[in-house]
Structure 1
Amino acid sequence: MGTFKIEGGIKLKGEITPQGAKNEALQILCAVLLTPEKVTISNIPDIIDVNKLITLLGNLGVKIQKIGSNAYTFQADEVNLNYLESIDFKDEGRALRGSIMIVGPLLARFGKGYIPKPGGDKIGRRRLDTHFEGFINLGAKFRYNKEDYFYGVEAKKLKGTYMLLDEASVTGTANIVMAAVLAEGKTTIYNAACEPYLQQLCKMLNAMGAKITGVGSNLLEIEGVERLGGCEHRILPDMIEIGSWIGLAAMTQSEITIKDVSWENLGVIPNTFRKLGITLERKGDDIYIPAHVDGYEIKTDIDGSILTIADAPWPGFTPDLLSIVLVVATQAKGEVLIHQKMFESRLFFVDKLIDMGAKIILCDPHRATIIGHNFKSQLKATTMSSPDIRAGISLLIAALSAKGSSIIQNIEQIDRGYEKIDERLRAIGANIVRV
């Protein structure tokens, strides 16, 4: 088990470039299964979760070639469907939640898709019903083996239909869209997710020959086509990492420029951090954060009541950044209520921040009230363990702001979502060592 040793309380300075978006990459990589032609993808993040999916695709028979830094070609012209029934596949599929999104493309192109119950962060219940109900609506037969937690869907030919999703699931929408592009007739998906990464998937599929309209809205219409071709696609910068660097700059009172952030795809993220009193400026397509030497003050609502920051489906605030907002608020002036609606176990890492001296009241599994120190009392260095990707980066930010030496264990959780994070932090002055 890897460990980070961090010497905190150091001011950072410089430029940092966000990696390619993890959540987009997991969707885009699965889409290569929809065509026998070559697909070229650039700006792929070199992180554990994405690399696991690339390995899984290779074991499925996809021809993979690395053509440059973070760039690959994929060609799924000799897919080995027998691999889906192997013990190795059951082990690999369980290790990665993103593996669920191979089911839609396989079902659409080959008439069957299987997956073991996938893993991922232990942040609460993460249901798969939306995925499989969508496939059933398209005409697939569903089966589930309770003994080894193995899901399967099969269909001779999918047929387009109207469906109203029970929740605006991002991965569920992506999976259903990838199945529907090769279905016979028209598919209408209402209450579809509309995150930028889902928009990117739709744009890529259209470049491959799909006919998807309504991209960017919660009503998608898909005219099925006979086949898809190859294309070239570049993955967006990771908005979660961009939010992480904004939080890092504020907490360490550092002057940092975040390069090439794709402002038009950040939604409410910049303004949410501004509500915490953080100054950030747009310079071209960069974000400039000055050193907050006098701290930052949380704004109240118009009527003077305590600010509440809650997650919501896009274009609302992404749940993946609530952990960052929470840790940043510990050194703000003022109070804020964090409401994590989507996952009931994601706030449980706050006990580690309380151990470091943060003033946090965990109201229930979904809500926490934070009373900021206004930098009058620094967090204390400590030893802790990373429970999931986003809590892990939040604890890392806390450690970088705390005076003294902190140890973070189980850093594989951080490596799942952040590329070479220790090297990139050292480049802007952080004292962090991987042990």
Structure 2
Amino acid sequence: MASFRIAGDQHLKGEISPQGAKNEALQILCAVLLTDKPVTIHNIPDIRDVNKLIELLGDLGVQVEQLSNSSYRFQADQVDVSVLDTANYREKASALRGSVMLLGPMLGRFKTGRIPRPGGDKIGRRRLDTHFLGFEKLGAKFNFDSEESGMFNVDASHLKGTYMLLDEASVTGTANVVMAAVLAEGTTTIYNAACEPYLQQLCSMLNRMGAKISGISSNLLTIEGVDKLGGTDHTMLPDMIEIGSFIGLAAMTQSEITIKNCQIPQLGIIPDVFKRLGIKMDFRGDDIFVPAQEHYQIESFLDGGMMTVSDAPWPGFTPDLLSIVLVTAIQAQGTLLVHQKMFESRLFFVDKLIEMGAQMILCDPHRATVIGLNRQQQLKGIRMSSPDIRAGVALLIAALSARGESIIDNIEQIDRGYQNIDGRLNAIGAKIERL
């Protein structure tokens, strides 16, 4: 297990570029299985979850050629479906939550699939019902082999388009069903579909490959099934979670940071939420400039009520940034209620922030109240452990702003979602040592 040793009370200055979007990468990489033609993907982040998925594709027989640090060419013309029955596949797929999105392309093109219960963050229950109910609507038949191997076995020999109302606007669930439906017979209509930019990217890429998807960017998708798909080139968006993390980092550490090439129109309300915390920022073309701020004040609602930030399906605020909002509010002036609706274990890291000196109340598994310190008191460095990707970076931000030295253990969780985060932050003035 690796750790970070962080020297606190650091003021950073300089330019930093966000990596390619992790959540988009997991969908886009699985989509290469839908065609036997070459697919070239650019701006792929060099992070653990993505690298594991690329390795899984290689195990399945996909030809993988790395063209540069962030560009790869894939060709799935020699896929070996029997690999799904191997212990090696079961072990690797069960350790990676993104592996569940291999199922949609496998069902669409090869009419069969096997997937173990996937792993990932320990942030509470993350059910797969939306994926499986959508596949069943298309005609797939499931069998869970709990006794022998813990595998979901799926027969999709007769996929047919249909109308479906998703039980939740799941991003991965929508992506998975879309990838199965593009090669199904007939027309599929998906209502209550997720419409995040990453899903828009996937649908646009599939259309360039020959799919017929309409309603992109809305919650009503119509998919006319086609017989086969071709190849394409695709460039991924910058990671909106990294961009939000860097905005919060700048505010907490009184740093002057320019975040480069942000694709600002694709960020939705993310900048507005941080502005409600009192954080100043200037859009310079496609870059976001965050000046060093000694103080920032949380807004109140128009009726004087306490500001609340909560997650919601797009175009609402992404749940992946609530941990960053929560830690950023520690040194603000004012009070903030953070309401994490989607996951019941994502706020449990606040006990470490309280130990560092933050004024917080964990109301229940879904809500925490932050009473801003307004720089009247500095956090103090401690030893802690990263429970998941987003909480790990929130703890890193707290440690960089704290007095003294901190150590964060289990940074493999951070590495799953943030590419060379220590190296990139050290380049603009941080002092982070990887142990």
**Residue matched to 2:164:** 163
Check whether the contact 1:135–1:153 (CA below 8 A) recurs between aligned residues. no
**By how many angstroms is 1:211 displaced?**
0.3
Question: Which residue is 2:243 aligned to?
Answer: 242
Match status 1:2 vs 2:14:
no
- Aligned equivalents of 2:386 and 2:371: distance in 1? 23
Query: What residue is the counterpart of 2:116 in the other structure?
Result: 116
Shift of 1:348: 0.2
Structure 1 residue 150: Cα displacement: 1.1
Cα offset, 1:152, TM superposition: 1.9
| Counterpart for residue 186 of structure 2 | 185
Q: What is the CA-CA distance between 1:149 and the residue it aligns to?
A: 2.4
Q: CA deviation at 1:155?
A: 1.9
Equivalent residue, structure 1, for 2:49: 49
User: Using the alignment, how far apart are the partners of 2:361 and 2:195 within structure 1?
Assistant: 33
1:167-201 Cα distance to aligned partner (Å, 9 max, x none) = 00000000000000001110000000000000000
Tell me the amino acid that sits aligned with residue 90 of structure 1: R
CA–CA separation in structure 2 for the residues paired with 1:114 and 1:240: 31
- Aligned match of 1:428: 428
Structure 1 counterpart of 2:204: 203
Which consecutive residues of structure 2, in runs of 5 or more, have no partner in the other structure? none
Q: Deviations over 1:229-272 (max 9, x none)?
A: 00000000000000000000000001000000000100000000
Amino acid at match of 2:177: I
Matches of 1:375 and 1:19, distance apart in 2: 31
Q: Which moved more, 1:320-329 or 1:136-145?
A: 136-145
Q: Quote the Cα distance in structure 2 between the aligned partners of 1:237 and 1:112.
A: 33
Give the TM-score normalised by the residue count of structure 2.
0.99
1:298 — aligned with what? Answer: 298
Note if 1:273 corresponds to 2:274.
Answer: yes
1:78 is aligned to: 78
User: Which residue number corresponds to residue 405 of structure 2?
Assistant: 405
Aligned-CA RMSD value: 0.5
Who is 1:313 aligned against?
313
Runs (4 or more) in structure 1 with deviation over 2 Å come to none
- Post-superposition Cα deviations, 1:12-63, rounded to whole Å, max 9, x if no partner, equal 0000000000000000000000000000000000000000000000000000
Given the alignment of the two structures, is residue 25 of structure 1 paired with residue 25 of structure 2, yes or no?
Answer: yes
Establish whether residue 95 from structure 1 lines up as the match of residue 95 from structure 2: yes
Superposed counterparts of 1:213-252, under 5 Å: 213-252=214-253
1:430 aligned partner, one-letter code: A
Task: Please tell me whether the aligned partners of residues 187 and 223 of structure 1 are also in contact (alpha carbons under 8 angstroms).
Answer: yes
TM-superposed deviation, 1:153:
1.4
Corresponding pairs, count? 434
The TM-score with structure 1 as length reference comes to 0.99
Secondary structure at the aligned position of 2:345 is classed as coil
Q: Is the 8 A contact 1:5 1:408 kept in 2?
A: yes
Amino acid at match of 2:289: Y
**2:48 paired with 1:68:** no
Q: CA deviation at 1:81?
A: 0.6
Structural mapping, 1:352-367, within 5 Å: 352-367=352-367
Aligned partner of 1:253 in structure 2 is: 254
Letter in 1 for 2:290: I
Q: Distance in 1 between matches of 2:15 and 2:425?
A: 10
How far apart are residue 69 of structure 1 and its match?
A: 1.6
